[in-house]
Structure 1
């Protein structure tokens, strides 16, 4: 264990961080996921629930087609990649990756 490492979120939100916090509940990351799910809802023209079981664990949405769930799988993977690319950054934005 590194004793000189702060337990607080490295994104600067001031909350003690753990795995779930880093990938889901940090306010910066939560806002990012809300944006991604809203974008996916607009693309598919259906209301999607913003929930880690879908976005992080790749559970399929039961009411969507196989093709729609496959598209979401790709979108969630890309979103997780953006989070990883910006791991220590205090900001997280999809706009720099969407053209």
Structure 2
């Protein structure tokens, strides 16, 4: 993977955990043991699928909106928030320098690490 050259093990680990679905979601926990609810533990009452927990939950969406707003403030480039950009750092269609792409990828990785750190938290801090 071309993105993963020369970056720390912790960042690579986070990337691989997202790609390989290492984080257990409410849906997956319910499949393992029915005592767990299928609902998102952030309180939105939607089914807690993998994409929901990382991207489409209304509370996570607010977080990602703030992340992309901060990226625009830092880089002066507006990036349309999409899951392939936020979760996988795929930026093939964004026409910026290699250095700026690396900066954006690092900022997105930091955001993913924050979500991972608060994985089972009922409240995801959204004020950056």
TM-score (norm 1): 0.89
- 1:70 aligned residue (84, 102, 110): 102
CA contact (8 A) 2:42 2:124 kept: no
Are the counterparts in 1 of residues 68 and 79 from structure 2 also a CA contact under 8 Å?
A: yes
Residue 56 of structure 1 aligns to a residue in which SS?
helix
**Number of aligned residue pairs:** 96
Partners of 1:78 and 1:94 in 2: how far apart?
A: 14
Question: Is 2:52 the counterpart of 1:24?
Answer: no
Counterparts of 1:72 and 1:9, CA distance in 2: 28
Cα displacement string for residues 27-57 of structure 1 (whole angstroms, at most 9, x for unaligned residues): 1101000000010011111211111111101
Distance 2:94 2:48 in 1: 32
Instruction: Report which of the two has the higher share of helix.
Output: 2
Unaligned runs of at least 5 residues, structure 2: 1-31
CA 1:13/1:94 → structure 2, altered by over 3 Å: closer, same or farther?
Answer: closer
Task: Name structure 1 gaps, 5 residues minimum.
Answer: none
> Equivalent residue for 1:82?
114
After superposition, the C-alpha distances for 1:59-85 in whole angstroms (9 at most, x for unaligned) are 125211111110011111110010011
TM-score (norm 2): 0.70
Greater RCO (CA < 8 Å, at least 6 residues apart): 1
Cα drift, residue 94 of structure 1: 5.1
Secondary structure class of the residue paired with 1:8: coil
